[in-house]
């Protein structure tokens, strides 16, 4: 971490406006900062190894590099959340489309005090080729903190993915997605004394589709196409168990479809002719709701992050 201290328009590393030291000294870790015998208006510290762009202007918002920022206005707190010294309980990870204002929750994890705890998760609710922004937000029992917002990120993937809270399956080989049917469940009544029928509509509006794909394990692809029959069987069994677990799933495709679904038929295995050990798997899906944060949370699909230390 590089520490830059500005003392009345003097920068301590000597890049302009005078200098206290002539060299930039690097220290990998700081555990404590102590300032004594002075009047301090504010303190701002960030992790920044780019010493070619030193500015005398303190940033007004938090970034992913900010360590602490304290302006001593009725508080000694120096984080992105002013909560009367209440301990942070959780860290919430959110996203939004780059051209929208509303944030949706991707994951939430318990906050653990420590030195550089990293968190990792797969966002299973994205649409291909859409542009997103992500953010981290500290949460106490009563107060949310400021968001630290990422740069814009364009989602990019190929094939079809099926996911739930614990699993993430990619279908890619010999992929045969069906047409997507938009169901409105109209009802046609034919009165005896009328030439024309009466068409009535319900409020239902949901999609149905089916998918067929050849399933090939990593063991076979890594062996240059030499079929590992045992591993192929185990891979198909895992996929079929996932399809038959009766739990809601997220379907997303490279066509930018992201749909909350359930499997609504009996999945089928079809041995691939001429290749022993390889088979196709097919199944049908029905949309069961929207992908709002509230709905995904209610169905247990909001992700818990895996901690990486």
> What digits encode the pLDDT tens for the residues 234-256?
999 999 999 999 999 999 999 99
The model scores a pTM over 0.85: no
Cα(309)–Cα(132) distance, rounded to whole angstroms? 27
Reported confidence tier of residue 280, pLDDT bands at 50, 70, 90: very high
Chain mean pLDDT for the chain? 79
Cα(188)–Cα(114) distance, rounded to whole angstroms? 65
Nearest to 90 by CA among 305, 291, 299: 305
Residue with the bigger pLDDT between 13 and 29: it is: 29
- What is the tens place of the pLDDT at every residue in 90-122? 788 889 998 988 888 888 877 776 655 676 767
Greatest alpha-carbon span in the chain: 100
Distance of CA 270 to the CA centre of its chain: 34
Reported confidence tier of residue 165, pLDDT bands at 50, 70, 90: confident
Helices H / strands E in the chain, number of each: 3, 22
- What is the tens place of the pLDDT at every residue in 47-61? 665 655 555 566 666
Do residues 61 and 69 make contact, with C-beta atoms less than 8 angstroms apart? no
Any long-range contacts for 176-180 (C-beta under 8 Å, 24+ apart)? 176/211, 176/212, 176/213, 176/282, 177/209, 177/210, 177/211, 177/253, 178/209, 178/210, 178/211, 179/209, 180/207, 180/208, 180/209, 180/257
What's the pLDDT at 8? 47
Tokens read off for 79? 């984080």
Tell me the DSSP string of 270-300.
EEPTTSTT-EEEEEEEEEEE---HHHHHHTT
Reported confidence tier of residue 309, pLDDT bands at 50, 70, 90: very low
Nearest to 140 by CA among 57, 83, 56, 209: 83
Q: 103 Cβ partners below 8 Å, 6+ apart?
A: 94, 95, 96, 135, 147
Average pLDDT over residues 187-199: 90
Do residues 105 and 99 make contact, with C-beta atoms less than 8 angstroms apart? no
Do residues 134 and 303 make contact, with C-beta atoms less than 8 angstroms apart? no
């Amino acid at each position: 971490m590089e520490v830059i201290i500005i003392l009345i328009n003097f920068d301590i590393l000597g890049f302009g406006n005078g200098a206290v030291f002539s060299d930039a000294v690097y220290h990998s870790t700081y555990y404590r900062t102590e300032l004594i015998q002075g009047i301090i208006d504010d303190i701002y510290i960030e992790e920044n190894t780019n010493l070619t762009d030193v500015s005398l202007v303190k940033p007004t918002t938090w970034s992913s590099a900010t360590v602490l920022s304290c302006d001593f206005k009725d508080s000694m707190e120096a984080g992105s959340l002013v909560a009367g010294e209440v301990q942070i309980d959780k860290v919430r990870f959110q996203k939004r489309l780059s051209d929208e204002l509303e944030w949706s929750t991707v994951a939430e994890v318990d906050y653990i005090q420590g030195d550089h705890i990293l968190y990792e998760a797969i966002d299973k609710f994205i649409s291909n080729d859409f542009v997103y922004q992500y953010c981290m937000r500290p949460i106490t029992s009563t107060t949310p903190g400021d968001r630290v917002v990422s740069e814009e990120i364009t989602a990019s993937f190929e094939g079809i993915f099926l996911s739930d809270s614990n699993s993430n399956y990619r279908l890619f080989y010999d992929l045969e997605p069906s047409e997507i049917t938009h169901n409105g469940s109209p009802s046609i009544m034919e009165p005896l004394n009328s030439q024309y029928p009466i068409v009535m509509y319900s409020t239902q509006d949901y999609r149905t589709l089916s998918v067929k794909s050849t399933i090939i394990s990593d063991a076979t692809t890594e062996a240059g196409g030499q079929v590992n029959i045992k591993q192929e069987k185990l891979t198909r069994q895992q996929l079929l168990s996932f399809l038959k677990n009766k739990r809601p799933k997220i379907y997303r495709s490279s066509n930018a479809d992201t749909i909350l679904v359930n499997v609504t038929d009996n999945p089928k295995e079809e041995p691939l002719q001429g290749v022993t050990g390889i088979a196709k798997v097919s199944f049908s899906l029905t949309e069961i709701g929207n992908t709002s944060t509230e709905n995904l949370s209610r169905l247990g699909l909001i992700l818990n992050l895996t901690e990486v230390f």
